[in-house]
Every structure is written in structure tokens, then in C-alpha cells.
Chains A and B, each alone.
Chain A
Amino acid sequence: MIILQLVVNGVLLGGTYILLAQGLNLIFGVMGIVNLAHGAIITLAGLFTFWFATKTHQSPLLLLPPVFIVMLVVGGVLQRLLLEPLARLGRRGELLNLMVTFGLSYVIIETGLNLFGSQYVSLPDLQTTWAVGGLAINEALVAAGVLGALISGGLHLWLHHTESGKALMATAQNPTGAVTCGIDVRRMRGIAFAIGSALAASAGVLLILVIPLSAPTADTLTILSFVIVALGGLGDYRGAVMAAIILGLVQSAVGYYLSGDAEVVVPYLLLIVFMVVRPQGLGRATR
């Protein structure tokens, strides 16, 4: 029974993790860069949600649409001002991109620290537990997992079944080819970063329901998201879904059988082990 309980929790956690990774994956796919400020955006959105929900006593889920829209705009502006100038520098640009998003992550984390303090907080909302056939199912986990999976599903539909989404996919697969098809690649990079940031912020809104956050968790979340993306294969969306669920399962199990400390280390260990053993990701292996 415990094992089944862990599996259910793990899969639900994985649902949230999918959303966590989608933003990073989209940005990597289209722009070829890893946004090191990813975890910082998630964390800041989570802390803001906590502040909003405790101040106004409204449901934190109300924040999803406005946060998504605001971060679309913010992400678009950040991309144009900070990253687009480096987009055409090739290999040297890659390192500079990392530096810029690394700097950005500290700006966001420190803003979070100054606004919300450094203590871990988590929302007391949605803490009902349903007993289903001997399993205890947490309402917050279900809400976050299901909403996370729904938003990811929406992204998938948009990418594969609309013209603008396909243009973005085309840019991710072959920028030069996309240009020759009349796609404004520069605009696509802006869109990718805007949506990637909005997805990260949405993930933050949901994540605060499930796990406690504080400003210094930002790095861990960046790594966690990156591990999911890397396990799935960089830029591989289906692989990322698989990796998210696997990571959710592993973390639930390790957290239960070993300790909370060990749970924190899991993403880092997986990162190093998998990058060394299988740098091409899980997805490619099964194909």
C-alpha cells in the first residue's frame, strides 16, 4: 500500500514537474540557451502567490491567468533587452548567455529575499485529503498535478496544431530552414522566452501549493527543471514528460525511505550521473 501511495504521489508531483520543465525546454529548443534564471522566476512567482493568498484570503489559483500574462510581457522585454543582442554570436554567445541569465537569477532571487524574506513558506490552502480505496490523496497535489499537466497539454496542442506553434517548432528544429520559410526567427525567440517565462511563473503558482519555497530554493529548482529536460533529451518534449514523472517517483521514494536531505540531492546526483552516462537523454534511447 505504501508503495502504491508513493507511486500516486510521485505521478502527481511529476504532473507539476512537467510544467516546471516545459518553460526551460521551450527556451532551450528555440533559442539554444539554458535560462539559469528559470528557478528564480518559479520561486518569485510562488512567493508572490503566498503573499497574495495570505493577504487576500482568495484562492491562489485565481492568480494563474494574470501571472501568466504579466510574465509573457516581462519575458518578452527581458529577451529583447538582454538576450537578443547575444543571439548572433554563436559559440561565444553561449557562454555569455549563461552569464547573463546567471546574473539575472541573482537579481530576481535577491529581489525575492528583500520582498518576502528568506524563510520557507507554503500555502495552507487545499489541504483536504481524500481517502480513495485506502490511499490518502492530497487535494493540493491533485490540483497542481492536474493543472500542470493541463497547461503542458495546452502547450503541446498549441505547438503541434496551430500555425504560430508550428512556426515555433520549426525555429527550434532548424532556424535557417525556418527563415527560408518566411518565419521571423527573431520574433520566435522573443515569443519562446516570453512563453517560457510565463510557464515558469505558472509553475511557481502551483508549486507553492505542493512544496515549501524560499528565495534560496531557486537554484535547486533550476537544476530540477534542467535535470528533467536533460533526462528527456534537450528540446525533446515527450521525453521531458517521461523524465518529469520518473523524477517525481524517485523523489517521493527517496524522501520516504531515506531523508529530506537525500531528496534534495537527488536531482543533482541524477544530473551528473545521467549527463556522464547518457548525454543524449532518455527519449533518444527509446527511439
Chain B
Amino acid sequence: MNLDARRLGRWIERRLGNPTSAAAPVPAPGRERIAIAVLAVLVLCAAVAPLFATAYVLQLATDVLTFAALAYSWNIISGCTGYLSFGQVSFFGIGAYATSVLVLRAGLPWYVGALLGSGLAGLAAALLGTVMLRLRGIMFALGMLGLARILMVVAGNWDYIGAASGLTLPAELTPIAVYLATWVAVLAAFGLNAFILHSGWGLSVTGVRDDEVAAAAIGVPTARIKVITFVMSALAPAAVGGIVAWNRSFLDPPSAFDPTLDLQVIVFALFGGIGTLWGPALGTVILVFVGEQFWAYLPDLQLALYGVLVIAVVLAFPGGIVGIANRLGWLRRRPVLAPAVFPVVARLPRPALQGGETIIEVRDLIVRFGGLIALNGVSLSIRRGEMVSIIGANGAGKTTLFNAITGFVKPSGGGVFYQGKSVSDIPAFQRARQGIARTFQIPRLMESMTVWENTLLAARYGKRADQAVDQAAWALQTVKLDGLWLEPSTKLTPGQQRRLEMARALALDPTVILLDEVMAGMTRNEQGEIRAVLRQLRGFGIAGVAGVEHVISAIADISDRMIVLDRGSKIAEGPPDAVLRDPLVIESYLGKVS
């Protein structure tokens, strides 16, 4: 057998359609209503049936629900936000202990205990999240693993909560009460997933997963969004932890903070489809039922086989069952807040404004990276509605200048003023919301979103849903991408991607757009399309600041002013014709004639 890894890699890549990128065309509302009704009846039947079945079936159904609640919660933080957690069991344990202690020591009813435990875990998540979520990728994954271990040791040494010998709880819950309570937790976790995947707010969460920097650039408060989703992912596990502890009548550190629980939950979510609405449920139901038959024969190999399953699913169908279904046209995600037809907006959002007052002022800006001085005392100002091009060779400091103005780089000296006020202490996402929009040198689009959602995400802040829809539609029309509005953003050509970034910037309703290397790598045709957008900015009262390295001819004739940077300093400024004849500028580009 010739197992060539490169071919296997390509094969996986083809199959690795990000599950959420497969957005479906909007279905007819009638048909969808029928589908939802049928589904609701099916779920209701499945939910009621165990109540009349044997104790064994009821316990099995409770197990399925417990894992489903955990899988959905893991899906919130790891699937939707992209922060892979190997320690969500921490919240299961916190909830289990909090509930038990509240009921045993304070004499509360168990359901109140579970609710309070859940709230407590949410609070813990908020506090831990502000620290842990500063870590990324592997750091966060291992940090969470470590957190669960630390909590286990703490619980094992804390006498008030039973230390290593654990707590014995009175067996006072009926299996039916346990079953129904677990249903509540599952529905809550499912509801949170649905909210994230189908609401405008949830777009911010997906934005954080796709590209945190780009998300901040279009006004998403990434730090806050992450902490909120982390809290969401802690609630149901804590409640389930409390319920499971009472159901077992016993609680000790190894059972409360069992690391293998995370493995199982990850297997279930992965098998069903990470980041999807139906994946966790499908994965859990199938694997728990299949497993139940299987483990009876191979009790010692359960976790090893789960390990094999994780590897196999990642390599063979990383989208899980839902990913496969998407390929067949089923279970596709609908674009968020997309009307049935593209909403044509006739109005201009803002009357044409006269150029005039200064909106951005940069004073003696210095940016150092270690020993390298990227910007050495640059001052400039941008007035409303004008088109300024900033030219300079590679390394001249254009991108650093844009990063400092938009808040992605902290200046070492000098200041940036927006509409007369210093923005030094304002985070990047706030600057974007206040009207400083930007595009990136290499387009940074949200790859799992459609063209429409990319734009809508930027249009959302400070607006009602219908206003945001109008704003997004207007932005897409302005850059002439309305015909492609339901395409996945990954399907766009480089020129279209750049225009989508401009649409995103326009959707913020900005007063200035900073365009980094706006013409780089564009064909003649694409340059023409971008120029057409830039020409319109003045009419909307938006200042354009275009950073350009090479294709100066494509920007010179539409610029009111041209600024030249060379090795971190401004060497010329003025009307494009005069600047381009300046000997200093020619020398900067072509070198000195000796």
C-alpha cells in the first residue's frame, strides 16, 4: 500500500471544509417551519419515552444527556471561539462541589444548590477567563489542563469540603428528577450554542475564532467576547456536575476533576462536528449508544479506543458527521440575519460633506521595536473627506504608522489625536467603533463566514438589527459585491477580497479608512475597481489614507495629498505632482546617483 502523506494531506484538505463555511441558500420559511416542527416532535418523543422505560434505559438516557450538556458547553469555548480546552472538567468539579456543599452545609434544596453552583462556576469562569484567555493555542489548552489538576489538589487538601476522602451525599433524588434536571442543563447549553451560531452577537464569537486581530479592527471587543463565551461554557457543566454528584451520592476529587471526562466530551463533539449546532448532540447520542454495547465486551480499552477514534476522525473527516452531511446538502448553516433577497438600499447613509476640519492628527510619533526605530518622530494630519496617499519603500514605516493610529501598536513616544482627543488609552476595537477603520496589507477576512456576514459583523455596533442590515447592504453595494453576498469569503478572488475588506471598513460607518498596501498585487482591472471605491469616499465624508509602495501611478491622480516616508521619517508632503518631482523622494526610491 502506498500511503503517501502528501497525497493524504491534500485529500484531507479537500475534506476539511470548515463546517460553518457551508452556508446554505436561505430556505423557504414554510418548509423550514415544517422541519422544525417535525424535529421538535421527535425530540419530545425521545425525551418522554425513557420516563416509561426500565431503570437501565432511564440511566442510559441520563448519561447521554449529561455528556450532551458537556459536549455542547465544550463546543462553546473550543468550537465557537477556537480556544481548545482540555480542562472544562474544572467547571464540572466546581459545580459538583459547590452544589454539594451548599446543600449539605446550608440545607438548600438540591435544585437551588445546582443553580447557585452553576452561577458560582460562571463567576469563577469570569475571573479565571480574564487571565487564562490571554493565553493562546497550546498555552490555553495546557493551562486549562493544569487548572483542573490544581483544583483537584486543592479539593484533596481542603477539609471543609471533605479533602481526599470526599463527601457522602444522601440518596434523595429520584432517577426521574435527575433525568429531567439534566434535560434542563442540555437545553440551556443547546440554547447558548444556537444563540452563538445564529445571532448577530454570535458573529463576534466566530470573528474571534477566525481572526482576533481583524475582529478587533472592525470593532469586536475580543477580550470581553472571549470571557463571556467562557462563562457560557462553564454554566451547564457546573449544573450537570451538581446533579451527577447527587445522583451518585458520592463526591471526591478524582471523580469531580476526572481528566478523562474531557477526552470523552472532545470525542463526542469532534465526532458529531466541532463548531456546529447539531454535532455535539449527534456525536454524543451515537457514541454513547454504540459504546454501551461495545464496552461490555472490552471494558479496559474504552479510553484507548476513544483515543484512536479522535485520531481517525481528525484525519479522515475533521468536520465530523455534520461536515459529511453538509457535503450532501443537509444541516447547512444559514447566513446570520440574511434577508430572503438582497436588501437594496437607495439612500446614502450620510450627506456629502465638505472637506475641512482635521480628524486625525499624529504628533511626533515614535515607535521602537527593541533596537529598531520603525517610526522616528512622524507628524501629519488628515482632514475630513480628503484622499491622502502615503508612499514609501518596503520598511519605510507605513504599516507601523497605520498600526499605531488604529491601536495595534503602542507608540514609544508622541501621540495620536482623533477629532481633537488623544486616543492613546483607547483600545483598538473602540477606535474602530469611533470611526477609524482600516484594511490590512494581506486581506484578513473571516474565513468561515459569508461575504454578507463579514460585512454585517462590522455594521452591527451601535445599531439596531435592521439598521445594521441596511448598513451592510449599502457597504456591499458601494464596493459592488452585492452579487456575491452569500458566497463564502474564501471563494473570492484577491481583488474581491480587498473590496470586501473595504466594505467591512465602510460598514463601520467610519470617518477615516486607512488602507494598507491597497493596490499591492492587484491586476489592472482590480486596481480600477478599487479606485472606483476610493473615489466615492469623499462623497460620504470619509477620509481615505492609502499606503502604497509601488503602484504609485494608480493612486497619484486620485490623491489630494501625498506623504512620503523613508526609514521611519517623513521626507516630503504636498500635492502628488510636486512630491513625485522632489529629488529627495526620487533618491529614496531609486538611490543616489554618484
Q: Which residues of A contact B (CB under 8 A)?
A: 34, 80-82, 84-89, 92, 94-96, 98-100, 102-107, 109-111, 113-114, 186, 219-220, 222-223, 226, 230, 261-262, 264-265, 267-269, 271-272, 275-276, 279
Contact = CB atoms under 8 A, between A and B. Distances in A.
A272 B301 contact: no
Contact of B270 (A81, A99, A223, A267): A99
Which 10 pairs from chain A and chain B are nearest by CB? A103-B310, A106-B307, A110-B304, A268-B146, A84-B5, A107-B307, A103-B307, A103-B311, A85-B8, A85-B9
A106 B263 contact: yes
Contacts of B11: 85
B304 A102 contact: no
Nearest to B12: A85
Given A110-B303, A111-B304, A114-B300, 18 more contacts: A81-B3, A84-B5, A86-B9, A87-B5, A92-B16, A95-B84, A95-B137, A96-B318, A99-B84, A99-B270, A102-B266, A106-B303, A220-B149, A226-B142, A265-B150, A269-B150, A271-B143, A279-B135
Given A96-B314, A99-B314, A219 B149 contact: yes
B148 to A, nearest CB: 9
B153 interface: yes
B237 interface: no
B504 to A, nearest CB: 20
Contact of A279 (B139, B146, B314): B139
A127 to B, nearest CB: 29
9 contacts: A96-B318, A99-B266, A102-B263, A104-B311, A106-B304, A106-B306, A222-B142, A223-B145, A279-B139
B118 to A, nearest CB: 24
By secondary structure, the B interface counts as: helix
A96 B320 CA distance: 13
Contacts of B145: 219, 223
B510 to A, nearest CB: 28
A31 to B, nearest CB: 12
Contacts of B304: 106-107, 110-111, 114
Contacts of B6: 84, 186
B275 to A, nearest CB: 11
A110 B28 CA distance: 50
Among A80, A87, A99, A107, chain B packs the most CB atoms within 10 A around the CB of A99
Interface string B132-159: 1011011101110111011001001100
Given A82-B315, A89-B16, A219-B149, A102 B310 contact: yes
B315 A94 contact: no
Contact of B5 (A85, A107, A264, A275): A85
Contacts of B86: 102
A110 B135 CA distance: 30
B18 A103 contact: no
B422 to A, nearest CB: 29
B143 A275 contact: yes
Contacts of A104: 307, 311
Contacts of A269: 146, 150
A110 B150 contact: no
A103 B316 CA distance: 14
Contacts of B263: 102, 106
A92 B18 contact: yes
B309 interface: yes
B266 to A, nearest CB: 7
Among A84, A86, A94, A104, chain B packs the most CB atoms within 10 A around the CB of A86
A271 B308 CA distance: 28
A104 B311 CA distance: 7
Contacts of B84: 95, 98-99
Nearest to A96: B314
Among A88, A111, A114, A268, chain B packs the most CB atoms within 10 A around the CB of A268
A223 B5 contact: no
Contacts of A268: 146-147, 149-150
Contacts of B315: 82, 85-86, 100
A94 B82 CA distance: 11
Contacts of A223: 142, 145-146, 149
Contacts of B134: 276
Contacts of A272: 131-132, 143, 146-147, 150
Interface string B73-90: 000000000101010000
Nearest to B83: A95
Contact of B13 (A88, A261, A271): A88
Contacts of B156: 261
A100 B270 CA distance: 11
Contacts of A222: 142
A114 B301 CA distance: 8
A103 B310 CA distance: 5
A226 B86 CA distance: 15
B309 A230 contact: no
Interface in B150-179: 150, 153, 156-157
B259 interface: yes
